[in-house]
Structure 1
Amino acid sequence: MRALVRVFATVTTVTPRVRCVPNQRGPDHLIRRIRPGCGRCPIRANLPGISRAAVVTAVRRSSVAGVRLGVLDVGSNTVHLLVVDAHRGGHPTPMSSTKAVLRLAEQIDADGRLTDRAAGKLVESVDEFTHIATSSGCEQIMAFATSAVRDATNCDEVLAEVAAKTGVTVDVLSGTDEARLTSLAVRRWYGWSAGRILALDIGGGSLEMSNGVDEEPDVALSLPLGAGRLTREWLPDDPPDRRRISVLRDWLDAELKVAAKQLSDCGKPDLVAATSKTFRSLARLTGAAPSSAGPRVRRELTSSGLRQLIAFISRMTTSDRAELEGVSSDRAGQIVAGALVAEAAMRALDIDTLEICPWALREGVILRRLDTGLQ
């Protein structure tokens, strides 16, 4: 059995050392700093048979190229593997993306347990994706689960089975952790000059919101208002019943009232940003640029455009919505509920326009791991 891959765990390694000139930065200065001195640098200066130039080259490569990481996201709808090249202080560069549609949130029995079939499919997917990550050259795998697994009454049992059969330990993120890590990703994408940022993220099982001026937000909240969850509980018909949509709108307004006050009391945001698939799809459906235009194209979602969109897609069947550009087949059934959550959040927080951020939870997980150190 493969050695257990510990998520977010520090891997102990023997660190070679050099002696260096303090208070200098960047890989180029290493040519100057390899001399007797403080012993702070992470390579050995006097290795028998290894030239000084080779030592400098190795450090340059480790500083610039970084490491290849696999991020395994066990969500309510999909299991998603993102392979990135990353180094501290730089943008993670996506190398490949693979996902499997498991719909775990829809496979909960009357006792709140993930079914045996769902657990088996999860084991198969994690095992397959671990092989993909390994063959892709990933040095570490970071696996995490969100709402569907977190809320299951047999969460520990299922993840123990995953660890035993695949060698991967899946870390369960709390809803607050999701909000904080998403906030970190948004902050790093826009930078300090963006000022106070209000960030929103609609997942399959929950809605995450945060507000702050630093990498650690002043307020980070998670509410059980995910698009998949509300579709199952409120909109079982296809197309959705108009009366139920009206009742759901009123219910969402009531559910968001307290959270909206907490977020608003922190201060008026300079930027409102939204992340993840639901918001990207809604923006695309209201005229934003397609994903093929690249991540740096500005994309927005307006409250007026969203209202018009809801009136349109709520009259369509799931199969018809799946034909729309920007809506994947696995999301077509829950895009109406997602749009209603987005509309309610924007209404509660008095938001007219929000910007779509390319980075979200997965990038936040990567950035936090880089910040805490890769060894």
Structure 2
Amino acid sequence: MRLGVLDVGSNTVHLLVVDAHPGARPLPAHSHKAELRLAQLLDDDGAIGPDGVGKLIGTVHEALQAAEDKGVEDLLPFATSAVREATNADEVLARVKDETGVELQVLTGEEEARLTFLAARRWFGWSAGKLLVLDIGGGSLEIAYGMDEEPDAAVSLPLGAGRLTAGWLPGDPPDPADVRALRRHVRAEIARTVGEFSRLGTPDHVVATSKTFRQLARISGAARSADGLYVQRELKRRDLEDWVPRLTGMTADERAELPGVSEGRSGQLLAGALVAEAAMDLFGVESAEICPWALREGVILRRLDHMPN
């Protein structure tokens, strides 16, 4: 059957259409996305303003039309941190439902981490052993660890690349003092969680997902996305440590000229790099393998697991 996942994230609203049935891997059929940047549309009270809600509703309508055009039989709509943490989240969800008919399921941060972990586990298989999975989104950082399909530990921290850029790095290029302050903040937040994971033992395989990690790997020399899903890509901590000071001195336009970096994401690449570097350092990770599957695929896999054969 043809499934659609509608992901209302902090940066983008993304419809992923796949052909799928239980026991088989989902095959991508279509992708439709719009950069809405909900996390940056919050007002001083933490609410998504009328313009932001209107843009969200219009974007959902466009995604519904695309889903209909592509023959989607079952739509799985969900929202993550930007909607979850908005002070008017209930009002936003009600308006979206009233005006589009779409009832967005708001995932908790822990659910995001667990579903992303499931996707990574299915991608790498049982032979990968104990997995440590890192995912940097627009609004949050998810960390999960385990041997099975359900992680033994899963946390979500408010360390998304978009959120941190908006709150900590107003300059372009950023003020070095602001970068230093953000670095301290990020490392303090992550360090609080390390003990929860270290007691579980050393992972056999470290996995990184998300656009931020993919772009950081690409500028560090990893293969292009055009080379296909099955090319192994990794991000080494030493390469990342070399890139952070270089990114600090660049403007957003200059970062957009780097290989694999989109104009829409270039402004928040430095914040993402600081989070990635801190996580890899504090968890003692020398290299992380990039996984092409993440939260959206996890949502699809969970849905397939509950379908009758």
Q: TM-score, normalised by structure 2?
A: 0.98
The corresponding residue for 1:311 is 245
Deviation at 1:371, TM superposition (A): 0.5
- What is the CA RMSD across the aligned residues, in angstroms? 1.0
Q: Which of 183, 193, 212 lines up with 2:117 in the alignment? A: 183
What is the count of residue pairs matched by the alignment? Answer: 309
Residue type of the alignment partner of 1:317? T
Matches within 5 A, 1:186-201: 186-201=120-135
Q: Deviations over 1:12-33 (max 9, x none)?
A: xxxxxxxxxxxxxxxxxxxxxx
Q: How far apart, in 1, do the equivalents of 2:308 and 2:293 lie?
A: 21
Amino acid at match of 1:261: G
Contiguous gaps of at least 5 residues in structure 2: none
Mapping of residues 71-220 of structure 1, within 5 Å: 71-220=5-154
What SS class does the counterpart of residue 264 from structure 2 fall into?
A: coil
Task: Give CA-to-partner distance per residue, 1:192-234, whole Å, 9 cap, x none.
Answer: 1110000000000000000000000000100001101111111
| CA distance in 2: counterparts of 1:374 and 1:319, whole angstroms | 50
TM superposition outliers: structure 1 runs of 4+ over 6 Å: none
Moved more, 263-272 or 241-250: 241-250
Say which SS state the counterpart of residue 118 (structure 2) adopts: helix
Deviation at 1:250, TM superposition (A): 2.0
Superposed CA offset, 1:239-270 (max 9, x none): 01112212222222211112111111111100
C-alpha displacement of 1:374: 6.0
Q: CA deviation at 1:167?
A: 1.2
* Distance in 1 separating the partners of 2:188 and 2:59: 38
Q: How does 1:1-375 map to 2 (within 5 A)?
A: 67-373=1-307
Which of 1 and 2 has higher RCO (CA within 8 Å, sep 6+)? 2
TM-score using structure 1 length: 0.81
- Give 3-state SS (helix, strand or coil) of 2:277's partner: helix
Gaps of 5+ in 1: 1-66
Percent identity of equivalent pairs: 58
